[in-house]
Amino acid sequence: MPPMASDGDGIDGQRRHWRSTFEANPTMYGTQPSEPGRYAVELFRAEGVRDVAELGAGQGRDTLAFLHAGMSVTAFDYADEGLAELRKAAAAAGVEDRLTTIVSDAREPLPLPDSSTDAVYSHMLFNMALKIPQLERLSAEIHRVLRPAGLHVYTVRHIGDAHYRAGTEHGDNMFENDGFIVHFFDQDLVDHLAAGFRTVDQTSFEEGALPRRLWRITQRKN
């Protein structure tokens, strides 16, 4: 049984950890888009998506793929250190005119009007140190800002991952390894957070050297 941590400062502590990590590693995840990023580009192109809200954009490897595909992107992250690298990369590629970056906390309402974006995308944002009520509010906010029949693509590490139940336990299926707290999803949580959406695809994939085991989930707003 892993040790149980005291509540501590949760996501605020994670923010400090990510800021220092981004500062030390300006291209932490490389410059090529992730597998779900490539998938989302093709899906969004096929659906005629014009604008994307990307949550937890980090240094923007997937953001740049959306921009290169001709979409406008509003990129959110709680660490401006990552967004600063994204802005530099977008300027170097000549696509900065379609990029907006906003420092934002996933626990707070999204600073976007109702029904204002065609698609919302995130890669592992839902795995952050967010408790279930916070995830419920985040899902409701995504539903609010999407246009009718808008698309939501997100990824999560799940309970089949090698790090599940390893390290320090924080409750709500959250475990800390190497300073990073991950909220591991089971199918019940995916289904619970789908209120107001129709799930059109759920695909398993692996990423990284561990490897991380994830689900890529595609939803359409009802």
- The CATH topology of domain 10-221 is Rossmann fold (3.40.50)
Give the model confidence (pLDDT) of 166-199 as tens digits: 999 999 999 998 888 999 999 999 999 999 999 9
What pLDDT is stored for residue 91 in this prediction? 98
The fraction of the chain above a pLDDT of 70, given in percent, is: 86
pLDDT tens-digit map of 23-57: 566 665 667 999 999 999 999 999 999 999 999 99
Confidence (pLDDT) at 8: 43
Provide the pLDDT for residue 31. Answer: 78
Q: pLDDT (tens digit, 9 = 90+) per residue, 208-217?
A: 988 999 999 9
Long-range contacts of 159-165 (CB under 8 A, 24+ apart): 159/184, 159/185, 159/186, 160/213, 161/210, 161/212, 161/213, 161/214, 162/210, 162/211, 162/213, 163/210, 163/212, 165/2
Least confident window among 23-37, 88-102, 115-129: 23-37
> Can you tell me the mean pLDDT for 140-151?
98
